[in-house]
Amino acid sequence: MNRNRILLVDDDPDLLKLLSIRLTSAGYHVELASSAEQALANIALARPRVVITDLRMPGMDGMALFQHLHVKDPSLPVILLTAHGTIPDAVQATQSGVFAYLTKPYDAKALLQLIERAVALPLPDESTQEDEDESWRREIVTASPVMESLLAEAQLVAGSDSNVLIQGESGTGKELLARAIHNAGSRVDKPFVAINCAAIPEQLLESELFGHAKGAFTGAVSARDGLLKSANGGTVFLDEIGDMPLALQAKLLRVLQEREIRPIGSSQMIPVDLRIISATHRDLEQAVANGEFREDLIYRLNVVGLSLPSLRQRKEDIPLLARHFLEQQSGKKRAEAFTPEAMELLITNDWPGNVRQLVNVVEQCCVLCTTSLISPALVARALHNKTPGSDLTYANAKQQFEREYLIRLLKITDGRVTDAARLAGRNRTEFYRLLSKHVLSPSMFKTNDARD
């Protein structure tokens, strides 16, 4: 569970947007719901760390939502936002177990303090054993029902010694899933050895897998154990198995059948106890038809088959993954979060490179970002967004003009918002809203020690 996940519930879209911007800027992962019913559907997918809800809403109100949540999860902190006229109701709610209430118009600093207190509470006591049970999958970040279903299957598979074939597009995280299966099984204390069959030249791959005897070939000045022997008792992950040469496929088949290996240049057979997890992005059935892969080897490898979804099939995970990778960029980043518009670009992208591409995009944004928020422009650049005519739309032209206009006003006024707002014919509140929309800070333009 993401400790920074906050669920906002309110039927006022403007308030939702304002709260979302402020909390996102503070480093929280924000989910939005326009009704209590929608909030319950959201929570069914993933438990938030804190729920912030309006008290008065059409249909199920905030108090009814709290009562529903409190029955199922008494430890989930719920903060109520209430108007002055409903303070007695809010007080009664706190006596019923609501974490806190805040009156509208709320004080942003007070809200952040309440959230910090709520997040600091210990996580639900699911017992140490349950935490240990979940440790096998901790490297896999997801809230996707498709992924959760796959992980449930993976955990079942881990309880056996059956060989597993993982199929999925490049960059979807096949090695992470293989490691998770190994960690959930009885071989967890034994070696996990990964080898990419497509990354090693054919003439070296056999030696890497099976080892060789001294003098087996030119340069073999000493005997060497192969990866299959070094993984004895554990798991071997053969990535891109579809690219393994046919000659080696026959030798691997023998290993799976006889449970023993013979190093190059040796007459000695060495028994091994291995679990094989293999992975490929290729269509192995088509490879068999093309004479590029042995059909009998597929049957040995694909005792259990798992299909890893592409990132575009689990788009609900994109915000989680983006924030997760952002947190990992310690030492490289100034940015603390993505703007809502930047996150929208991430979510709507097709991601042909899947999770691996998302990691690259987040890292590039971090390196180039000079503010606390990653802008849509940085994301578009990292995505190499060059769709013909995309910058010529009326909406894009209007947004670009608006940003350049605000920059010009702030330069003219040395960052004095009062003067800039007066020149624009707007009040300060509206002008600040425009600055927030375009991720502009008045302090960037105070060149002459100007004060607002």
266-310, pLDDT tens digit by residue? 778 899 999 999 999 999 999 999 999 999 999 999 999 999 999
Where b means 16+ CB within 10 Å and e means fewer, 405-433 reads ebeebbeebbbbbebbbeeeeeeeeebee
Average pLDDT over residues 208-222: 74
Cβ–Cβ under 8 Å, residues 197 and 205? yes
126 lies in some domain: no
The reported pTM is 0.59
Please indicate, yes or no, whether residues 428 and 304 belong to a single structural domain of this protein.
no
Please indicate, yes or no, whether residues 31 and 58 belong to a single structural domain of this protein.
yes
The pLDDT-based confidence of 88 (bands split at 50, 70, 90) is low
Burial of 450 (0-12, 13-18, 19+ CB in 10 A): middle
The pLDDT, as a whole number, for residue 385 is: 64
Task: Determine the Cα–Cα distance for residues 107 and 117; give it in Å rounded to an integer.
Answer: 16
Please indicate, yes or no, whether residues 236 and 283 belong to a single structural domain of this protein.
yes
List C-alpha distances in Å: 99 to 8, 114, 116.
Answer: 15, 9, 12
Q: What is the CATH number of the domain that holds 210?
A: 3.40.50.300
- Give the domain-ending residue among 382, 410, 435: 382
- Give the domain-ending residue among 309, 334, 349: 309
Please indicate, yes or no, whether residues 145 and 289 belong to a single structural domain of this protein.
yes
Please indicate, yes or no, whether residues 42 and 171 belong to a single structural domain of this protein.
no
The pLDDT, as a whole number, for residue 126 is: 44
Average pLDDT over residues 201-229: 79
Please indicate, yes or no, whether residues 296 and 317 belong to a single structural domain of this protein.
no
238 lies in some domain: yes
138 lies in some domain: yes
16-28, pLDDT tens digit by residue? 888 898 898 888 9
Please indicate, yes or no, whether residues 301 and 317 belong to a single structural domain of this protein.
no
Task: Determine the Cα–Cα distance for residues 74 and 96; give it in Å rounded to an integer.
Answer: 11
Retrieve residue 398's tokens: 């209007």
Task: Determine the Cα–Cα distance for residues 285 and 70; give it in Å rounded to an integer.
Answer: 51
Strand partners, 7: 31, 51
Amino acid at residue number 284? L
Q: SS3 sequence, the chain?
A: CCCCEEEEECCCHHHHHHHHHHHHHCCCEEEEECCHHHHHHHHHHCCCCEEEEECCCCCCCHHHHHHHHHHHCCCCCEEEEECHHHHHHHHHHHHCCCCEEEECCCCHHHHHHHHHHHHHCCCCCCCHHHHHHHHHHCCCCCCCHHHHHHHHHHHHHHCCCCCEEEECCCCCCHHHHHHHHHHHCCCCCCCEEEEECCCCCHHHHHHHHHEECCCCCCCCCCCEECHHHHCCCCEEEEECHHHCCHHHHHHHHHHHHHCEECCECCCCCEECCCEEEEEECCCHHHHHHCCCCCHHHHHHHCCEEEECCCHHHCHHHHHHHHHHHHHHCCCCCCCCEECHHHHHHHHHCCCCCHHHHHHHHHHHHHHHCCCCEECHHHHHHHCCCCCCCHHHCHHHHHHHHHHHHHHHHHHHCCCCHHHHHHHHCCCHHHHHHHHHHCCCCHHHHCCCCCCC
394-441, pLDDT tens digit by residue? 676 787 788 888 888 888 888 899 988 988 888 988 888 888 887 778
Cβ–Cβ under 8 Å, residues 425 and 409? no
Please indicate, yes or no, whether residues 152 and 234 belong to a single structural domain of this protein.
yes
Residue 396's domain comprises: 390-445
99-158, pLDDT tens digit by residue? 888 887 778 888 898 899 888 887 654 443 444 467 899 899 888 878 888 898 999 999
Cβ–Cβ under 8 Å, residues 352 and 360? no
Burial of 154 (0-12, 13-18, 19+ CB in 10 A): buried
Strand partners, 33: 9
291 lies in some domain: yes
- The total number of structural domains that make up the chain: 4
- Count of alpha carbons within 13 angstroms of residue 283, beta-carbon side: 4
450 lies in some domain: no
Please indicate, yes or no, whether residues 216 and 348 belong to a single structural domain of this protein.
no
214 lies in some domain: yes
Where b means 16+ CB within 10 Å and e means fewer, 87-115 reads eebbeebeeeebbbbbbeebeeeebeebb
Cβ–Cβ under 8 Å, residues 209 and 228? yes
Please indicate, yes or no, whether residues 146 and 253 belong to a single structural domain of this protein.
yes
Task: Determine the Cα–Cα distance for residues 383 and 183; give it in Å rounded to an integer.
Answer: 34
350 lies in some domain: yes
Retrieve residue 252's tokens: 């691997």
- Which residue carries 């079942």 as its tokens? 156
Task: Determine the Cα–Cα distance for residues 308 and 180; give it in Å rounded to an integer.
Answer: 13
The pLDDT, as a whole number, for residue 89 is: 62
Retrieve residue 148's tokens: 């959760």
The pLDDT, as a whole number, for residue 451 is: 45
Pairing of strands 373-374, 337-338: parallel
Please indicate, yes or no, whether residues 225 and 346 belong to a single structural domain of this protein.
no
Please indicate, yes or no, whether residues 226 and 150 belong to a single structural domain of this protein.
yes
- Percentage of the chain beyond pLDDT 70 is 87
- Give the domain-ending residue among 382, 405, 433: 382
298-357, pLDDT tens digit by residue? 999 999 999 999 998 888 889 889 988 988 886 666 788 888 888 888 988 989 999 999
Q: What is the CATH number of the domain that holds 108?
A: 3.40.50.2300
451 lies in some domain: no
